[in-house]
Structure 1
Amino acid sequence: MIQEFVNKYFFNLLIFTLIFGIILYDLIGFDYTDELCALALFILFIFWMFRTPDWRINKAFLITICIFIFYLCYSFAINSNSKTAILADFTVQIKPYLAFFCVYSMAPNFSRIQKDLLKKISLILWFCLLPIGLLGLINMQYLIDIMGVPAYFAAAVIAVSLTYLFCSDFTTKDKCIFLILLSLGLISGRSKFYGFFVLAIVIIVYFSNVNHIKLNFKNIIILFFTFGIMLFVARNKIELYFMQGIVGDLDKNEIARYVLYATSIDIFKDYVPFGSGFASFGTFYSGEYYSNIYAKYGIDNVWGMTKNAHSFIADTFYPSLAQFGIVGLYFYSAFWIHILKKSFKSQSAKQLILTLLIVSFMGIEGIADSTFTTHRGFFILMFLGLVLSETKISNNKELKNESLTN
């Protein structure tokens, strides 16, 4: 049966991606692990699609593919960069959407045995990360030598913690263990992780009761104080990247993010409505195949954004949306609204909470990291597809039961 085939091979692919695409990504020094995993996932999806009687494909997935093809043609038409750069950036930008929609369309459903095994693997991986974190407490350089950068360590902790929660029974004990596992990421010293950890506590402790998820005065006050605490724990970086940039008091090592945000606003205004095109601004390939946008806006001499040293160009995500203009910004927002709408249809608190945690994580990460289009984003979007697959399966079962009853 095709579904059993998908369940088996996607399970193996998920474990492989978690271990080699997240935990060991920098240690093995192979930068194309996520691309290989993406190719394997797409092949599995194509095999599944052709084996279904009606060549089933999610409508939102089809719309997303059409949107990306349009932007690809648009980028060629306006010569946003070289054809090689445009194609390379196209591949990077569409990858997280492929990760989500391929998994969501196939709707893999893990057995209890598979979930128990995945749960044990996530705990083993966490205990492997624990000594690395403890070494980081002694000297952060030890953690960097092993994991590459603190962001990779934090993402690894989040990945194994979410995997554990997904495979659990979502009891009070499981929620407490999840928060304990997640707390290891605090060692990374990342302000974004501090903010996410605060939000995760509120979501797990308060909003895991689905009856609390409603718009009322009490919840508005709770969210207001939550975001206040998040801003407080991240205040140093907010001041560093934005406030000091406004007054022109940034160190040369920190100015790139502020410049990217400020310039993106100009690009949104100047390239209405479809943006400056693939590989033109704020992405890895816009720096690798140096885009003329940087010279056009007079930022080609900014530290970390020069033609010969452009490592800071892809240091954040939201400014890169200027490549797609206000129309692209609308579609990006519509994608996440689509995700949230589907999650709120779930009758399972666990599936809803996992979705809220993932959306919160990606929302926070985009402020000062390009996580969405990296190996970390690829795994998280795969995982999100798996979570919402359970929601879809549960809803379909309920509809069948209702039809049988009627």
Structure 2
Amino acid sequence: MSRYTVVCRTKKYGVKAIITIAILFILILFEVLGGRSYFDEILGLCSMLYMILLLFARRLTNEDKISVLLLLTVICIGVLSNIYSKINVSLYSILIDLVVESKFLWVFFGAKYFVTQVEMKDVSRILRPFAKLFAVTAMIFALISQVVNIGMTGSERYGLKEFKFFFPMSFQFLAVAMVAVAVISNKQSRKNYRYYICMCIALILATKSSPLLFSVFFLILLVYFKKREELKTSTLVILGILVLILGTFQIQTYLLNENAPRYLFFYYGGKTANTYFPFGAGFSTFGSDQAARNYSELYFRYGFNGLFGMNQKDGSFLSDTFWAMALGQFGWIGFALYVIVYIRIFNSIKKVKLNLEQRAFCYAAYAAQLIHAVGSAILSSSAGVISAIAIGMVLGGSYSKNRNKK
């Protein structure tokens, strides 16, 4: 099957590869500028329609077909929850939240099927020099920032200054770092390790839990997959213990503290799921950005309007967690199905033929974002969409290679 190409000097690049790079560039530009845009929501909506078309055209693998159907079921449960609870009946608000809270998965699947092996090769050829430069300069500036204030650091933790590079927040830096690692890992080489080390040093100096987890997971798995091809249960247990050790501060401060906003969201998320069982409260009602913007009726009921960072004037903590949102809005059944979709994606990584660097990246990047979602809304953010594209296009290239063999 022929493909559309763009000729640059003497080299040809696929149009789909150019589109992928353009999408990444726009998303990253908005992260650097720090301004809010609806580009990631538009991308999420387009990806949803794209995957539904592929579903009806029977172009999905059986595994992905089940995951997409489960995701559509969760969305239906969310809408039914709105009808059942009657807390938010604004069609516009519901549709916006519907896209926002599912866009990570839609964009992941979209990238996986849009970016084939050929496109991934083109993307890597174009972006590899920039990715390497990004890794090296990030490490250099991260080290300099520890002794000289060059405007790339934030708060201080563990005696180290939080390095953000030229992004407003460290999680945005992590998302772009994931793209860089995804691009570099497409062609396995021992020389790549120098760039991985540079990237991980810069991310560790970000001092936040998600960059730290990704770096540690990635480096450990790079060594692990040199000796073993599959991730064993015992290894997952060890990594889980490592998560608890590295996240002790966050767990004690945010999840075990009864006055912490994240604790309150998990507590009242369960209470909401019980109140509106078997459904939840519905889209735009609890823990989401739309619920904060419209200041949900539930927040008055739970007394959030009298709490710092959770009231109508200052709602900085109102959309600070993802999983609690899913529990409150979709209920116990919808939450369980939602979690199953994410678990199915994690399990699917081992079924794809990847080189060891790609395998280490996919596991580390995906796990880091899922864990990060406990204490943030990363999976419904534009930065999360960037990481979804990075993971999706790595898996997509290998999936297309496997399909072509069949």
TM-score using structure 1 length? 0.81
Match of 1:13 in 2: 19
Cα distance between partner residues in 2 of 1:329 and 1:296: 22
Give the CA deviation at 1:211. 3.7
Cα distance between partner residues in 2 of 1:21 and 1:235: 32
Aligned 8 A contact 1:132 1:143 in 2? no
Cα distance between partner residues in 1 of 2:292 and 2:198: 39
Match of 1:267 in 2: 272
Match of 1:319 in 2: 324
CA deviation string 1:233-252 (max 9, x = no partner): 33222221133x14x5xxxx
Given the alignment of the two structures, is residue 233 of structure 1 paired with residue 233 of structure 2, yes or no?
no
**Which of these residues, 277, 296, 301, is aligned with residue 296 of structure 1?**
301
Given the alignment of the two structures, is residue 118 of structure 1 paired with residue 118 of structure 2, yes or no?
no
Letter in 1 for 2:179: A
Given the alignment of the two structures, is residue 32 of structure 1 paired with residue 38 of structure 2, yes or no?
yes
After superposition, the Cα gap between the structure-2 partners of 1:344 and 1:157, relative to the gap in structure 1 and judged at 3 Å, is closer
Match of 2:261 in 1: 256
Match of 1:403 in 2: none
Given the alignment of the two structures, is residue 98 of structure 1 paired with residue 111 of structure 2, yes or no?
no
Cα distance between partner residues in 2 of 1:143 and 1:338: 37
Give the CA deviation at 1:89. 0.9
Cα distance between partner residues in 1 of 2:278 and 2:215: 37
Give the CA deviation at 1:24. 5.0
CA deviation string 1:31-88 (max 9, x = no partner): 2342354466568x48x959x9957456343553354244224314432324132222
Letter in 2 for 1:265: G
Give the CA deviation at 1:353. 2.9
After superposition, the Cα gap between the structure-2 partners of 1:231 and 1:63, relative to the gap in structure 1 and judged at 3 Å, is closer
Letter in 2 for 1:182: C
Match of 2:159 in 1: none
Cα distance between partner residues in 2 of 1:140 and 1:42: 41
Cα distance between partner residues in 2 of 1:242 and 1:49: 41
Q: Which ranges of structure 1 fall in alignment gaps of 5 or more residues?
A: 249-254, 401-406
Give the CA deviation at 1:277. 0.7
Aligned 8 A contact 1:157 1:184 in 2? no
Aligned 8 A contact 1:342 1:388 in 2? no
**Which of these residues, 126, 132, 157, is aligned with residue 177 of structure 2?**
157
Match of 1:284 in 2: 289
Cα distance between partner residues in 2 of 1:41 and 1:223: 31
Identical-pair percentage: 20
Given the alignment of the two structures, is residue 360 of structure 1 paired with residue 367 of structure 2, yes or no?
yes
Within 5 A, what are the aligned runs for 1:36-185?
36-38=42-44, 45=50, 54=57, 56=59, 59-60=65-66, 61-83=68-90, 84-110=92-118, 112-127=121-136, 129-130=138-139, 133-134=142-143, 136-137=145-146, 138-139=148-149, 142-143=152-153, 146-165=166-185, 167-169=186-188, 171-185=189-203
Cα distance between partner residues in 1 of 2:99 and 2:65: 20
**Structure with greater strand share of residues:** 2
Letter in 2 for 1:153: F
**Structure number with higher relative contact order (C-alpha < 8 Å, ≥ 6 residues apart):** 2
Cα distance between partner residues in 2 of 1:68 and 1:96: 14
Cα distance between partner residues in 2 of 1:140 and 1:93: 36
Q: Secondary structure of the equivalent of 1:367?
A: coil
Cα distance between partner residues in 2 of 1:172 and 1:234: 31
| 266-275 or 23-32: bigger deviation | 23-32
After superposition, the Cα gap between the structure-2 partners of 1:209 and 1:375, relative to the gap in structure 1 and judged at 3 Å, is farther
After superposition, the Cα gap between the structure-2 partners of 1:193 and 1:26, relative to the gap in structure 1 and judged at 3 Å, is same
**Structure with greater helix share of residues:** 1
Cα distance between partner residues in 1 of 2:4 and 2:187: 22
Letter in 2 for 1:88: I
Match of 1:242 in 2: 255
Aligned 8 A contact 2:128 2:184 in 1? yes
Give the CA deviation at 1:130. 4.8
CA deviation string 1:314-352 (max 9, x = no partner): 112111112111112222222123213332222334443
Q: Which ranges of structure 2 fall in alignment gaps of 5 or more residues?
A: 7-12, 155-163
After superposition, the Cα gap between the structure-2 partners of 1:98 and 1:139, relative to the gap in structure 1 and judged at 3 Å, is same
Aligned 8 A contact 1:284 1:313 in 2? yes
Match of 1:396 in 2: 403
Q: Secondary structure of the equivalent of 2:303?
A: coil
Give the CA deviation at 1:278. 0.5
Match of 1:195 in 2: 213
Cα distance between partner residues in 2 of 1:325 and 1:17: 34
Cα distance between partner residues in 2 of 1:310 and 1:238: 22
CA deviation string 1:336-380 (max 9, x = no partner): 232133322223344433331232122221121111011111122
Letter in 2 for 1:102: G
Letter in 2 for 1:321: A
Aligned 8 A contact 1:25 1:33 in 2? no
Cα distance between partner residues in 2 of 1:132 and 1:164: 20
Give the number of equivalent residue pairs.
Answer: 381
After superposition, the Cα gap between the structure-2 partners of 1:214 and 1:238, relative to the gap in structure 1 and judged at 3 Å, is closer
Cα distance between partner residues in 2 of 1:151 and 1:205: 25
Aligned 8 A contact 1:150 1:188 in 2? yes
After superposition, the Cα gap between the structure-2 partners of 1:22 and 1:361, relative to the gap in structure 1 and judged at 3 Å, is farther
